[in-house]
C-alpha cells in the first residue's frame, strides 16, 4: 500500500493533478492581465509528447469544469488522429462532453486553425503553440529577446519585414504571422494561417496560447487590438483562393468564406477543399448538398 | 486522405494500438517480469530513472517494458505518470559527503586520500560479444545463483567507514589552496525545475537539476561539441572523483516532526577539475565542476560535471547556458522532432500560396523605384 | 516665472548652458585597472571636439561611457537635447539610455560590425533606426534610406545588398548614413577611419567633415591620429594614462604643445 491508496479519488488524477491545474490557472490569469506577454509556467509532462499539443492540453485541463463542452480539432478537422487522441484524453480525464460544432462548444482546443464561425463572448479558444517566441527568427539569444520585449524594441522585426519586401517583393511570412497585441507586445500567432489573424482582432472570445515544450502561456483577451505587423503602404494579405472549392461553396475573389487546402491529384491537377470540415459540412447541408444525418453522427467511445 | 474521415481518427488509433498490443502483450515469447528488467537491464532502468527525474526502479522497469526498450519513451511515461501525482512535500537536503560508495575512482591522483575502489565496471573488460549456447548459459546462470545462495555473503560492512564514505578530492585541493572557492549562499533553496521553467539567468541549482534530468546522449553530444566542435568552452579537464554509491533520503515526519530516513537512492557523482588559464582568472588555482544523476550513469555524470565548469567559465556572449537549459531535455527535443509527423497541410498550403504570389511579378510593389 | 529662473540657475550651475554635451569628472575603473580619471569637457552645438591619445589612453573609454556601451564608475554627463540638460544621462535606466540611441545620440565605431548588422542590407540597416523611431511607411523608409546613402556616396544599386559584401570604406559610409538617419544632435566617432587604406580614409574623412558642416551636429571625434583630429576639429583634448593632460584649440596645440606627452605625440606625428 502506498500513500496514494488512502487518498480520496479526487486527489489523484488521470492526467494532471489538481494543484498543477491551479498553477496553470494562475499563469492564465497573469497572461490575461498582460495581453501578449509570454508567462513562464511549470509545464508538466503530459501523456502526449512535447510538440503534440501538451501546452494546449494543460490549458484545457486547467480550465474545464463539468458543465463545459469541448471541441478539439487539428488543421480544421475534427477527425484528425491527434485531435481524436486529445479529445479522448480530455473526455476521460475530466468527464466533460465534447462536440464538433464550435457554436456549441465553451472551450475549443485547436492546432493551426481558428474556426470559420465567429466565436462569441464566453467562448475560449485554446491554441496549441510550438514556438511562442515571435522574434526567434531575428534573434536567438534569450537574454536579448527578453530585453527586446521588455523595452518594446521590435526594430529587428521591422527590418526583417523590410528585407523581405526588398528581396521578394512581398512579405513572405506565412503562418504564425507576428502581431502587435494591445499596442504593446508582439506575439507569434502560432502557426495559424494569415487567414485566421483578422478574427483575433477585437474578438468577443478569449484566446489562450499554450506552449508546453517551451513552458509559456500567453493570451489575447476579448476586445483587444491585434494588429499584424506591416507597413502602412503594404497591406496585410491573407491567403488567396484561386480556384473554386470542391464543395461548391467558395468562389475565388468572392467574399470571405473559408480557408482552402489543396488536394493534389495523380494527374498533377489539384482540387480544393475547405479546411474547416465541420463548417463545410454545415454549409453543404444548408445548401442541400449533404444529408443532415451526417452531422448528428455520434463518435465512438474508446 | 488518411487523416480525413470523421471517425477515421478513432479507428486508426485503435488499429494502431491493437498492433502494438499484439507484439507487446501477446507476442511469441514469455512475459518479461519487472525483476528481470531491474536485475538484468539495470543500466537502462537507471537511465530511465535519471531522465525521468523519478527514483523508483519498479516504475522505471514498468515504463521500460511498456515502451519496448525505448529509453526516451520510458522517461516520458515516468514523467507523465509523475504529473498525475500530488506533491506531499520535499525531502530534506542531504550532504553528498554522506555517500556510501560502491565504486570510487580518482583519476587525478595515484594514491588519493581514501580508496581507489574499482567496483563494478566494464571499463577494463574487452568488448567481445559472448556467444554461448543459450541453454548452457541459462543452466550455468542458475547454477551460479544456487552456489551463491549457499555461500555466506562477503561481509561488506567489514570495510571501514573511511573506505565506504571517503573524503572528496575537492577538500584535498582546498587544503592545498589549489581550488577557487566559489561557495556562496545566494542559491540556498534548490530550484524546482518542474515548477519554475529554467531559463537563461536561472540559478546554478536549476542548471544542475536540468542536467541531472537531461537526456544522456544530449549531454554527451554537447560535451563533445565543446571539445571538438565550434563551441570550445572546455579546455583541460581532469576528473577528480567518479563515484557510484548510495545516498540516504530523509523527510520530516508529519506527525512526530522529526527527521526520518525513509530509504536511499543510488547516484553517480563526478567532480571535474579544470585548469584555470583565463586573463581574469586566478591562474594559480583550479576550479571544479559537479555532476550527479540517479542510478549508475558515469557517461552522463562526467559530461554534466564538465559542462558545469565550462558554464562557470564561459564568456558572457556564450550560448552554453542557453544550450544546456534549452536543448538537452530528451522529452522536449524528441517530442518536438517527432511532432513533424503530425499533419501540417494548413501551414504548408500557406507557404505554397506565398510562393505563388512571389512569382506574380506584376504584383510587386515598386521597390526598385528609388534605386533608379 | 519661478521655473524659468530655476532652470537658468541650474544651467548656470552646471556650466552646461547651451552645450550639446557636458561631461564632468567622468571616471571609469575596470576592477583595479584605470580606464579614465576625472575627465571633463563641453561640446557646443555644431562643434566638433577631438580626443587624442595612444591606444590605452582612455579616450575610447570616455566615448563608450558617454554612449552607454559601458557604465561609468563616477561622474556625470548632460545633453541639452535630453530634458534640457537637467538629467545626468549616466544615471538613467539602461532601457532609457538605449532609447537615446534612437535619435538623440549616434555612434560610428571603428569596427563596422559594432554599428551595423552585416547580414542585413544597407537600406535595412537604416530602416532599423527609422523603424525604431516609429517610421512605418515602406516607401518613405526606402526614400529616406536612398537619400542618406546617396549623400554618403554609397552606390544606390548596392543598397539592397548585405553590408557583408561591402568594402571597408563603404561600410563606414553606411555607418555614417545610419548614424545620421534620425538627425541626432550629437554624434560620437571612434577611430572612424582607422584600418582603412590611406586613400579610402581620406575620402571618408572628407565626407565626415562635409557632413558635420552640413548637418550642424555636435561631434566628439576620438582618434590616435593627429591628421584626423586636425581635419575634423577645432578644439581637442589630449589624453594620457586615463587623464586629460592638455586641452586647447587644435591648431595651437599642434603648433605649440605644452605638456611633454603632447609634445611627444605631436613630434611623432610630424616626424
Of the candidates A154, A159, A234, which has its C-beta nearest C127's C-beta?
A: A159
Cβ within 8 Å, pair C131-A155: yes
Q: What is the pLDDT of residue A6?
A: 56
pLDDT at residue number C7: 45
Does the annotation mark A288 as catalytic? no
* C153-208: pLDDT as tens digits: 999 999 999 999 999 999 999 999 999 999 999 999 999 999 899 889 999 999 99
Out of A267-271, B238-242, C224-228, pick the least confident.
A267-271
A159 touches C: beta carbon within 8 Å:
yes
* Residues in chain B where the model's pLDDT stays below 70: 1-8, 152-162, 361-372
Distance to chain A for B57, nearest Cα, Å? 15
> Chains touching chain C at 3 or more Cβ pairs under 8 angstroms?
A, B
Please indicate whether, in this complex, the C-beta atoms of C142 and B369 are within 8 angstroms of each other. Answer: yes
What ipTM goes with this model? Answer: 0.89
Contact: B371, C156; criterion CB under 8 Å: yes
Contacts of C159 in chain B (CB under 8 A): 371
Q: Which residues of C touch A151 (CB under 8 A)?
A: 95, 98-99
**Inter-chain residue contact A231 with C141, CB threshold 8 Å:** yes
- The confidence band for A296, taking pLDDT boundaries of 50, 70 and 90, is low
User: Which of B12, B322, B335 lies closest to A51 in CB terms?
Assistant: B335
Question: Which of C208, C256, C255 lies closest to C228, judged by CA?
Answer: C208
Q: Which of A55, A56, A210, A245 is catalytic?
A: A245
Report the predicted TM-score, pTM, of the whole model to 2 decimal places. Answer: 0.89
> Tell me: the pLDDT tens digits for A120-162?
999 999 999 999 999 999 999 999 999 999 999 999 999 999 9
User: Which residues 77-96 of A are in CB contact (within 8 Å) with C?
Assistant: none
Contact A232 C131 (CB under 8 A): no
The per-residue pLDDT for A246 is 77
Does residue A179 carry a catalytic annotation? Answer: no
A144 vs C: CB within 8 A: no
Report yes or no: C146 at the B interface, CB cutoff 8 Å: yes
DSSP-derived secondary structure for chain C:
-HHHHHHHHHHHHHT-TT-SEEEEEEEEEETTEEEEEEEEEEE-TT-EEEEE--TTSSHHHHHHHHHTSS--SEEEEEETTSGGGTS-GGGS-HHHHHHHHHHTEEEE-SSHHHHS-TTSBHHHHHHHHHHHTT---HHHHHHHHHHHHHHTT--GGGTTSBGGGS-HHHHHHHHHHHHTTT--SEEEEESTTTTS-HHHHHHHHHHHHHHHHHH--EEEEEES-HHHHHHH-SEEEEEETTEEEEEEEHHHHHHS--SHHHHHHHHHHH-
Identify which of B296, B295, B335, B337 has the alpha carbon closest to the alpha carbon of residue B72: B335
A228, A210 contact by CB (below 8 A): no
Nearest chain B residue to C154 by CA: give it.
B371
Residue C181: per-residue pLDDT: 96
Q: How do residues C39-94 score in pLDDT, each as one tens digit? A: 999 999 999 999 999 988 999 999 999 999 999 999 999 999 999 999 999 999 99
Angstrom distance (rounded) from CA A169 to CA A286: 41
The beta-carbon neighbor of B9 closest among A23, A51, A83 is A83
Minimal-distance CA residue of chain A relative to C127: A159
pLDDT classification of C13: cutoffs 50, 70, 90? very low
Chains with 3 or more CB pairs closer than 8 angstroms to B?
A, C
Q: How are strands ordered across the β-sheet holding C74-79?
A: C33-43, C21-30, C74-79
Domains and CATH numbers, chain A: 3-228 (3.40.50.11310), 240-302 (no CATH)
Which residue has cell 517566441? A133
Q: Decide if pLDDT at C15 tops 70.
A: no
| Residue that the C-alpha cell 478574427 belongs to | A199
Q: Name the residue of chain B whose CA is nearest to C138's CA.
A: B367
Instruction: Please give the pLDDT value at position A7.
Output: 57
CB contact under 8 A, A50 and B331: yes
Please check whether residue C160 touches A, CB under 8 A.
yes
Tell me if A79 and B8 make a contact (CB, 8 A cut-off): yes
Q: What is the pLDDT of residues A12-34, one digit of tens each?
A: 567 999 989 999 999 999 999 99
Q: How far is C160 from chain B (nearest CA, A)?
A: 9
CA separation for the pair B147, B131 (Å, rounded): 23
Counting residues of chain A whose pLDDT is more than 90, the rounded percentage is 70
pLDDT (0 to 100) of residue C9: 38
**Interchain pair B371, C146: CB under 8 A:** yes
Residue A42 falls in the annotated catalytic set: no
C138 to chain A: which residues are within 8 Å by CB? Answer: 162, 165, 231-234
Using the beta-carbon criterion (under 8 Å), do B370 and C142 form an inter-chain contact? yes
- Tell me if chain C has a CB within 8 Å of the CB of A167: yes
The pLDDT value given to residue C156: 96
Cell of B28: 511469441
What sign does the CA torsion over B183, B301, B233, B320 have? negative
Q: CB distance B339–A50 less than 8 Å?
A: yes
CATH 3.40.50.300 is the classification of domain C18-104+185-270: yes
**CB-CB: which of B84, B338, B347 is closest to A14?**
B84
Name which of A150, A155, A166 is nearest C121 (Cβ-Cβ): A166
Interface A-B: count of C-beta contacts within 8 A = 198
Amino acid at each position: 500500500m502506498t500513500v496514494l491508496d488512502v487518498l480520496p479519488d479526487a486527489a489523484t488524477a488521470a492526467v494532471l493533478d489538481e494543484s498543477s491545474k491551479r498553477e496553470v490557472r494562475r499563469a492564465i490569469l497573469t497572461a490575461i492581465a498582460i495581453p501578449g506577454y509570454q508567462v513562464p509556467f511549470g509545464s508538466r509532462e503530459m501523456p502526449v509528447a512535447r510538440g503534440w499539443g501538451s501546452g494546449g492540453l494543460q490549458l484545457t485541463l486547467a480550465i474545464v469544469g463539468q458543465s463545459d463542452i469541448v471541441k478539439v480539432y487539428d488543421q480544421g478537422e475534427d477527425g484528425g488522429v491527434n485531435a481524436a487522441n486529445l479529445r479522448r484524453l480530455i473526455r476521460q480525464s475530466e468527464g466533460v462532453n465534447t462536440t464538433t460544432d464550435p457554436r456549441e462548444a465553451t472551450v475549443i482546443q485547436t492546432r493551426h486553425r481558428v474556426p470559420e464561425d465567429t466565436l462569441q463572448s464566453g467562448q475560449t479558444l485554446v491554441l496549441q503553440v510550438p514556438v511562442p517566441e515571435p522574434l526567434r527568427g531575428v534573434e536567438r539569444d534569450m537574454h536579448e529577446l527578453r530585453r527586446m520585449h521588455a523595452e518594446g524594441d521590435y526594430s529587428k522585426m521591422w527590418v526583417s519585414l523590410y528585407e523581405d519586401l526588398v528581396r521578394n517583393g512581398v512579405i513572405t511570412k506565412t503562418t504564425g504571422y507576428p502581431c502587435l497585441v494591445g499596442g504593446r507586445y508582439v506575439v507569434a500567432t502560432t502557426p495559424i494561417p494569415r487567414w485566421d489573424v483578422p478574427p483575433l482582432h477585437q474578438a468577443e472570445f478569449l484566446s489562450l496560447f499554450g506552449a508546453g515544450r517551451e513552458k509559456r502561456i500567453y493570451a489575447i483577451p476579448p476586445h483587444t487590438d491585434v494588429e499584424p505587423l506591416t507597413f502602412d503602404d503594404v497591406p496585410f494579405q491573407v491567403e488567396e483562393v484561386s480556384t473554386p472549392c470542391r464543395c461548391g461553396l467558395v468562389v475565388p475573389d468572392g467574399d470571405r468564406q473559408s480557408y482552402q487546402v489543396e488536394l493534389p491529384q495523380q494527374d498533377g491537377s489539384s482540387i480544393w477543399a475547405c479546411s474547416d470540415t465541420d463548417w463545410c459540412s454545415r454549409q453543404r447541408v444548408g445548401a442541400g448538398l449533404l444529408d443532415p444525418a451526417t452531422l448528428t453522427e455520434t463518435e465512438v467511445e474508446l | 486522405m488518411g487523416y480525413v474521415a470523421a471517425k477515421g481518427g478513432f479507428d486508426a488509433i485503435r488499429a494502431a494500438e491493437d498492433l502494438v498490443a499484439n507484439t507487446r502483450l501477446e507476442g511469441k515469447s514469455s512475459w518479461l517480469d519487472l525483476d528481470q528488467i531491474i536485475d538484468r537491464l539495470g543500466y537502462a532502468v537507471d537511465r530511465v530513472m535519471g531522465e525521468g527525474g523519478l527514483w523508483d526502479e519498479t516504475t522505471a522497469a514498468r515504463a521500460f517494458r511498456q515502451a519496448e526498450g525505448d529509453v526516451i519513451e520510458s522517461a516520458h511515461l515516468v514523467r507523465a505518470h509523475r504529473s498525475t501525482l500530488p506533491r506531499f512535500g520535499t525531502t530534506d537536503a542531504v550532504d553528498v559527503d554522506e555517500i556510501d560508495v560502491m565504486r570510487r575512482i580518482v583519476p587525478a591522483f595515484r594514491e588519493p586520500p581514501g580508496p581507489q575502489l574499482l567496483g563494478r565496471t566494464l571499463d577494463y573488460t574487452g568488448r567481445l560479444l559472448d556467444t554461448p549456447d543459450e541453454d548452457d548459459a541459462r543452466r550455468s546462470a542458475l547454477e551460479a545463483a544456487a552456489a551463491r545462495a549457499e555461500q555466506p555473503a562477503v561481509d561488506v560492512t567489514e570495510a571501514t567507514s573511511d573506505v565506504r564514505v571517503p573524503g572528496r578530492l575537492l577538500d584535498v585541493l582546498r587544503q592545498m589552496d589549489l581550488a577557487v572557492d566559489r561557495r556562496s549562499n545566494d542559491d540556498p533553496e534548490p530550484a524546482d525545475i518542474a515548477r519554475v521553467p529554467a531559463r537563461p539567468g536561472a540559478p546554478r541549482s536549476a542548471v544542475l537539476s536540468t542536467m541531472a534530468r537531461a537526456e544522456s546522449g544530449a549531454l554527451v553530444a554537447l560535451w563533445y561539441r565543446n571539445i571538438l566542435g565550434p563551441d570550445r568552452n572546455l579546455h583541460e579537464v581532469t576528473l577528480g572523483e567518479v563515484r557510484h554509491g548510495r545516498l540516504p533520503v530523509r523527510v520530516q515526519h508529519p506527525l512526530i516532526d522529526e527527521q526520518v530516513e525513509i530509504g536511499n537512492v543510488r547516484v553517480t557523482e563526478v567532480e571535474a577539475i579544470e585548469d584555470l588559464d583565463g586573463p581574469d582568472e586566478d591562474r594559480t588555482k583550479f576550479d571544479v565542476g559537479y555532476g550527479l544523476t540517479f542510478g549508475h550513469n558515469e557517461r552522463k555524470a562526467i559530461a554534466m560535471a564538465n559542462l558545469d565548469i565550462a558554464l562557470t567559465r564561459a564568456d558572457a556572449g556564450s550560448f552554453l547556458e542557453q544550450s544546456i537549459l534549452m536543448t538537452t531535455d530528451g522529452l522536449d527535443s524528441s517530442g518536438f522532432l517527432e511532432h513533424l509527423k503530425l499533419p501540417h497541410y494548413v501551414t504548408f498550403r500557406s507557404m505554397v500560396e506565398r510562393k505563388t504570389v512571389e512569382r506574380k511579378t506584376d504584383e510587386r510593389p515598386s521597390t526598385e523605384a528609388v534605386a533608379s | 516665472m519661478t521655473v524659468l529662473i530655476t532652470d537658468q540657475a541650474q544651467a548656470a550651475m552646471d556650466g552646461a548652458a547651451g552645450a550639446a554635451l557636458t561631461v564632468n569628472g567622468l571616471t571609469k575603473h575596470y576592477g583595479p585597472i584605470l580606464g579614465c580619471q576625472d575627465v571633463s569637457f563641453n561640446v557646443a552645438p555644431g562643434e566638433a571636439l577631438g580626443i587624442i591619445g595612444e591606444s590605452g589612453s582612455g579616450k575610447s573609454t570616455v566615448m563608450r561611457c558617454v554612449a552607454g556601451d559601458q557604465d561609468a564608475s563616477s561622474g556625470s554627463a548632460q545633453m541639452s537635447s535630453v530634458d534640457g540638460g537637467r538629467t545626468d544621462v549616466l544615471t538613467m535606466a539602461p532601457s532609457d539610455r538605449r532609447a537615446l540611441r534612437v535619435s538623440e545620440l549616434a555612434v560610428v565605431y571603428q569596427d563596422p560590425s559594432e554599428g551595423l548588422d552585416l547580414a542585413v542590407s544597407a537600406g535595412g540597416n537604416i530602416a532599423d533606426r527609422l523603424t525604431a523611431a516609429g517610421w512605418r511607411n515602406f516607401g518613405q523608409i526606402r526614400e529616406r534610406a536612398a537619400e542618406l546613402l546617396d549623400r554618403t556616396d554609397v552606390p544606390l544599386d548596392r543598397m539592397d545588398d548585405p553590408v557583408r559584401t561591402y568594402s571597408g570604406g563603404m561600410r563606414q559610409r553606411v555607418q555614417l548614413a545610419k548614424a545620421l538617419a534620425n538627425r541626432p544632435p550629437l554624434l560620437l566617432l571612434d577611430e572612424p577611419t582607422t584600418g582603412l587604406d590611406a586613400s579610402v580614409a581620406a575620402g571618408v574623412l572628407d565626407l565626415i567633415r562635409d557632413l558635420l558642416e552640413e548637418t550642424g551636429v555636435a561631434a566628439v571625434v576620438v582618434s590616435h591620429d593627429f591628421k584626423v583630429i586636425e581635419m575634423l576639429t577645432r578644439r581637442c583634448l589630449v589624453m594620457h594614462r586615463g587623464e586629460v593632460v592638455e586641452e586647447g584649440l587644435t591648431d595651437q596645440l599642434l603648433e605649440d604643445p605644452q605638456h611633454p606627452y603632447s609634445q611627444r605625440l605631436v613630434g611623432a606625428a610630424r616626424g
